[in-house]
Structure 1
Amino acid sequence: MWAPTTFPIILCSSGAHDLFTPALCLPANMATFVEILRSEFPQLDAELLQYVTDVLDSGQSDFESENDLFEAVGELLQDVSGEAKGDDDIRAICQRMYRSMRMNHHGPSQAQVLLDAPIQLSQITDYDVDPQVLSVLLMKKDQSSTVDVRKLEKAEAKLKAKQEKRSEREIQKTGGNVVMEEASASQAASKKENRIESSGKNKSYDIRIDNFDVSFGERVLLTGAELHLASGRRYGLVGRNGLGKTTLLKMLASRSLRVPSHISILHVEQEVAGDDTKALQSVLECDTLRESLLKEEKELNARISAGKGDGSESVRLSEIYGKLEEIEADKAPAKASVILAGLGFKHNMQQQMTKEFSGGWRMRLALARALFGRPDLLLLDEPTNMLDVRAILWLENYLQTWPSTILVVSHDRNFLNTVATDILHLHSQRLEAYRGNFESFLKTKEERLKNQQREYEAQQQYREHIQVFIDRFRYNANRASQVQSKIKLLEKLPELKPVDKDSEVILRFPDGFEKFSPPILQLDEVDFWYSSSQPVFKNLSVSADLESRICVVGENGAGKSTMLKLLLGELSPVQGIRHAHRNLKIGYFSQHHVDQLDLNVNSVELLAKRFPGKVEEEYRHQLGSYGISGELAVRPVASLSGGQKSRVAFAQMTMLCPNFYILDEPTNHLDMETIEALGRALNKFRGGVILVSHDERFIRLVCHELWVCENGGVTRIEGGFDEYRDILHEQFRKEGFL
């Protein structure tokens, strides 16, 4: 006999009557299928009935006609009926079930309520349950099946083939590209909150979002999380790559998470579209009130000049002039110009049309527009990625006087130490808030973890002590009451968890060190230009060896990436000589490495296409060395986070074991733990390194030499990064930024 079993029960209200249906056995619209199957095939056993209903339910979206349904289960039903029903009879039954499926699918949905407590099937006769459904629920499990197992497998194979064919059609519709998963968010809101929001009485600029979830496709990123942002404070959002920091910003920007409607939000995510608008005017247009007043003023003056006025124009003009004076509209161009200059736009660049700028400069323009617009909530995602060291130092100073709320995702420790007043740590699908900058966060977090571990260990000792007593006197009648008391005490103890520390990130660059006679890599009196009217370098002479640790800095457009390509041999000097040792193998990490990755394949396939002839295990091992392992390695590259794509690029770059690395902005998109691991790996690597970076901590961690690209040449700074920082601060003072 089948032992009594408990199932969650769903109450389905169909209009005519109420019936109880076990949620684990029958979906909402399966009762109709059960009725048809039981009436037409009374000899159908429990296991086969369950199998057929599962097939019908899971294949609903795949069945495009009754023929599809017949192909899936017709042969099984024919086998059950034996000679009692012919092929036409089975097809007619499948047609009835298909029509029932369509009607249920498109008709009014049945309301479902999950009961609070399970119901034992042995007691289900106490409830008002449809007899046909009840007969299915109480079937004995030991009834033997009369259907050929091979025919069952054949039916499953047909359904699987149908689903695969449907998937292929979907891929063809999208041109063969990967269909990206979408992010979604949900949150609980009280009636009180909804009432206050709808009444328009909420004037606070604090943001409080409780008990919310965020998912990306099927992956849960945050669950039951809380986000509290106090007006006027600057929050740094930190956490490992791929945990959902960027997705959280997007959910806030799109208001998928409920932010009070009177709070304006600006998310610096996409570059400004290129058109004929001048850069300065593009920034000024962010002040919509000023722009609308100026436009109206122009229209009114035109009507007066044309003699079409009715006398009301003068009154309205007086109002407009008063409002323009109130918002200090005349000072707006100067304010916008200061922001653009701080972000690297020289005076002549501010008058250029936006379509003349590269993508990187348009991203700076988007940042300038956000800073000028001054929203109530400013969302910044890795703002330092698009900036050089000079612009980062300016932005740090500018944001320290920012009047409203900032939420910034950044991997730059120095930037967060200077700008952030609070840190939000995303881990284990939740957010934890810390007061203070990043260094304060590290100290507080470490202390919290130590206390948590001490409390856990102390409780474990206490539990063991009580358990020893229980085990010793469990069967002693004289101590029975004491044992029961101890058991209850154990049950009441809060369940503390051990410290769940993040695994250490480890990167390793395979050594390629050999003793080479100099010169190893050099440029000798090189001239280079893309256009003869605008030379990039004049008489450039630099050299590096296998022990070099060189960082190249300088303003955007000064020629840093061009010099790297000259050293690589990707560009040829107009005059002068590039020399590289014949045994030199250079690994190159491009600033735009993502553009060089095939986003429609997974990481294993990517390496296999680039370096064919190896077994899959070798590709997986190579990717695993850079943190792309398990499911990540077979996920489409397009679905990986920016930091994960960088790791794939590292795996690809090191596949052939170079003995010299040239890295252009390698820390962009990496989380702090990975940046630290990259620094350690480069320090252990036995070979030469030249890199371009704006990350101060990373530069100090790795580099022994500092080259400044400026004025068509390269200058070596003897005092390293400290001297370079002092030079920039002196420039700021002269330009009036400090």
Structure 2
Amino acid sequence: MALVDLTNVTNLIRQSVPNIDDTIVEYIVGYLNETQSGGDGEDVITDFVRPILVDAGGEEERIQKLCERLSELFVQNSSDNTSNNNGLNKLEQPVNMLTTSFISATAGLVAQNVDLEAVSGRKVSTRVDTKKLEKAEAKIKSKMEKRERRSNYEASKLLSKKNNDEFLMQVNPILDYTTTKGKIKDVKVENFDISFGGKRILTNANLSLTYGRRYGLIGRNGIGKSTLLRTMSRREISVPTHVSILHVEQEMEGDDTLAIQAVLSADIWREHLLSEEKLLNLQISELEQNLEEFDEVTLEQKKDAANTRLKEIYQKLEEIESDKAESRALFCRPDLLLLDEPTNMLDIPAVAWLEQYLKKWPSTLLVVSHDREFLDEVATDILHQHSERLDHYKGNFTQFYATKEERRKNHLREYESQMQYRQHLQDFIDRWRYNAKRGPQAQSKIKILEKLPVLEPPEVEVGVTFNPPILQLNDVSFGYPNGPIILSNVNLSVQLDSRIAVVGPNGAGKSTLLKLLTGALEPRSGMMHRHGRLRFAHFMQHHVDQLILDMNAVAFMAQKFPGKIEEEYRRQLGNFGITGMTGLQSLKTLSGGQKSRVSFACLGLQHPHILILDEPTNHLDMDSIDALTNALKGFKGGVILVSHDERFIDSVCTEIWVCESGKVRKFEGDSIKQYREMIVPKEEP
């Protein structure tokens, strides 16, 4: 079977688009090579090749002629392959004709090749044009195969580490740092599109990264955040060539490589040059050991060529200070650092260290994360990827959330106002359109209505649903380092509608269990499943330690939850009985109950899915306990609490867990009263 000469294709592309990048040419030719046997060359060139060439800066007229020429080549190749078959095809396997008459209609329909007449044994009338049907099915099948080939080809470009490293070396050349000094290192890319696997990720998007700022990239799973980072690192969008890039991907292969060596290996140019140096030294050594196999002239030529290349390599290694790489590996400073989910698999101390390290990062940072606390600590700006676009917000995640909600409300008000105005015009038109006296006015209103722009309704975000269980512990055991086991073989699950009271003697591990549930403590053994998007609000028994006592309640909330106006903080505090001048008093002057109310007000601003409360009724008066009880009854989420207040437990909770002797079990009774009767011996009459 004759295939299209790809060298000829390469030359045609270069002639038509002289300034095209070598990498893009290689990508196009590689994809055409993968698909040329599929028989859909014309569609591939129109849908795949043409947009890439236009984006590469080619002239429309020359690209059109090139596409026509390529279509001729591939269509002719496809027809040649078809004509060579002479209408005969070799079967992949023998066919048992005896069994074909017993094929079920259902199986045939699934296989999409059923012959109803053969199955039923009678003539079946149909109005369907079988030729058109076959043609339509063939077209759909061709499109599906083409899409699959494109996805497989794009994926294959990412799977091979060797090919990926070679590609990255092409798009990230060794920089002469003396020539990059003084150049602007901001990244600004306008009106770009990104697609992957046949799916559009971004359309006509704009990206602006100011040098020295730290950007958090957020968006729903599968929206294309990792694809955007990969596209930037491969310079498939116009990132300036003098801006150095380091991309730390989300998933990395695990092996026994030393940590320092893994960091050094991320410098692909250094690794490549050192590998080539080793190979050249080996070649020179082999030449000297096998002198008798070569004449003197040939030997000298080979040694000179190897030594010349070796000298070039040493010069480049000296430029990138390879000998000092190990000492500066952990202090590498690319102009643009791309991090994809860096807090995954890190424990709390490691996350805290990373936060402090990145807060001092001197150049540009773009990090993908779903950790709100991490983004609040690190990010100076937020990029929200959604609906095939990027929206920029100043501030950390908490400020983004408040600003986004305000934008949504403003958009909704504007939309409703415009809809009312248009409805008013339409009502006037409907009423007076055919009236002789007011007909001209109605016609004028029609023209006004026609000239109004298309009104886009506000986007409605689809809510996230949690599949049970959202929080589960399986055979979990815990004990502090070098200490005894406090809890062993704990098995329990929590749902969004759970109302659970944890009871037991003091020192049995109730507070420890709550900290395990929130993730503040990690188990020694066992499995703990916690939904990735689950938000907790934890009221600690010693909650006063979390307050800054020299501040007043309003200022404390503004510091902890920035981005709101003072009236919102006052309103939230007022909901918990902190009103008037009390909100402006120093926290250390408030009573224990008032401090508890301030802590409860802070919990409400976290918008949690699960409330975890450790002795919440301590310091509260009766009225406050009643108010807290009613609030928890109306809370649309899960509640887990530790309390010694029996009335409070009976009013709020539907389940009781008993924590004692290092075990946690569910109490089978119906009320806390029954539990009390079980543990308190009856007095003898």
- TM-score, length of structure 1 as denominator length: 0.40
- TM-score, length of structure 2 as denominator length: 0.42
